[in-house]
Amino acid sequence: MPWKHWSSERIGFALALLAAAGFSFKAIFVKLAYAVPQAQPVDSVTLLALRMLLALPAFVWVGWRSSQGLAPLTRRDWALLVALGLLGYYGASILDFMGLQYISASLERLILFTYPTITLLIGVLFMGKTASRREIGALLLSYAGIGLAFTHDLHLASDMGPVLLGGAFVLGSAVSYAFYQAGSEPVIRRLGAARFTALAMLVSTVATLAHFAATQPLQALVQPAAVYGHALGMALLSTVLPVFMTSAAIRRIGAAPTVLIGTLGPMLTIVFSYWLLGEPLSLPQMVGAGLVLAGVLLVGRR
């Protein structure tokens, strides 16, 4: 195997790139599952429940392994885990899945990828931080890019209402994930990344299943084989593996290069959606993607 002779840094870059591709493919799996022919298309809550159920064994195992020999969690730890798990993996995911019922995978990824700039705004508005000129410029670039991408989807849509509704859902998802990002740093320092991620995922799984039980009949889990296949692909290739690949990449090349490679995500989603979903590609969409990426890179540059 050629990769056995690679340096640790080269393996780290490869893992970061694979993680970015995995995360970017999530929207593709969702759109493919929605398009499976059946009398009643799968709804967002059922699809998210299937994803979480299929990913659950991996995170149970990681949570158990990462907690071995460590002090038990305090009530405050559990309170923070519950709050952040609801924001990051339940709230953000359900809003994202709902938005994908109305907008293209390409636009979804661009809106969702504004969460670093939203995290910056949260720090300014709620945590007493100040924004530099560079960071304000990053915000303007990102949202100018979103505006261009919106013109692409609105031009193709016969009714602008669904596009605006889907965009609002996905923007809500980005805000929810940004709050999760802003609040998770001190908890990760205390509990460790693997333990925190696994336990937060367990919280989110319980919330997702409770939502499903309250709104859907049990027989809604009976779906065509293709829906199960897309949900399994989402759980494995766009949830479990990218999380661990990202952690492994950070260990080898550091957080900054890993985040930098992750900015390829929106571009990869645009390529995948054009290739696999047949979504049209336009110059405003590509320019918008470039502006969003520039804004994210600018706000993340040290």
pLDDT at 135: 73
Distance CA 302, CA 297 (A): 10
- Position 245 confidence tier, pLDDT thresholds 50, 70, 90: confident
In 3D space, the residue among 23, 12, 3 whose CA is nearest the CA of residue 243 turns out to be 23
Please say whether the beta carbons of 88 and 180 come within 8 A. yes
- Over residues 238-250, the mean pLDDT reads 82
Q: Which residue has the tokens 């520039």?
A: 294
Question: Amino acid identity, residue 102?
Answer: Y
- Position 300 confidence tier, pLDDT thresholds 50, 70, 90: low
Angle 257-61-75 from CA coordinates, rounded to 5°: 90
Distance CA 301, CA 120 (A): 13
Angle 144-147-151 from CA coordinates, rounded to 5°: 145
Query: Percent of the chain, pLDDT > 90?
Result: 27
pLDDT at 248 over 80: no
Q: Which residue has the tokens 């429940």?
A: 49
Please say whether the beta carbons of 96 and 112 come within 8 A. yes
Angle 41-23-284 from CA coordinates, rounded to 5°: 85
If you average pLDDT over every residue of the chain, what do you get?
83
Global model pTM greater than 0.85: no
Please say whether the beta carbons of 123 and 182 come within 8 A. yes
pLDDT, tens digit (0-9, with 9 covering 90-100), for 7-38: 778 888 888 888 888 888 988 999 999 999 88
Distance CA 272, CA 267 (A): 9
Please report which residue ranges of the chain form alpha helices under DSSP H. Answer: 8-24, 26-34, 44-66, 75-85, 92-99, 105-112, 115-126, 133-156, 160-191, 193-215, 225-235, 241-253, 255-262, 265-272, 283-300
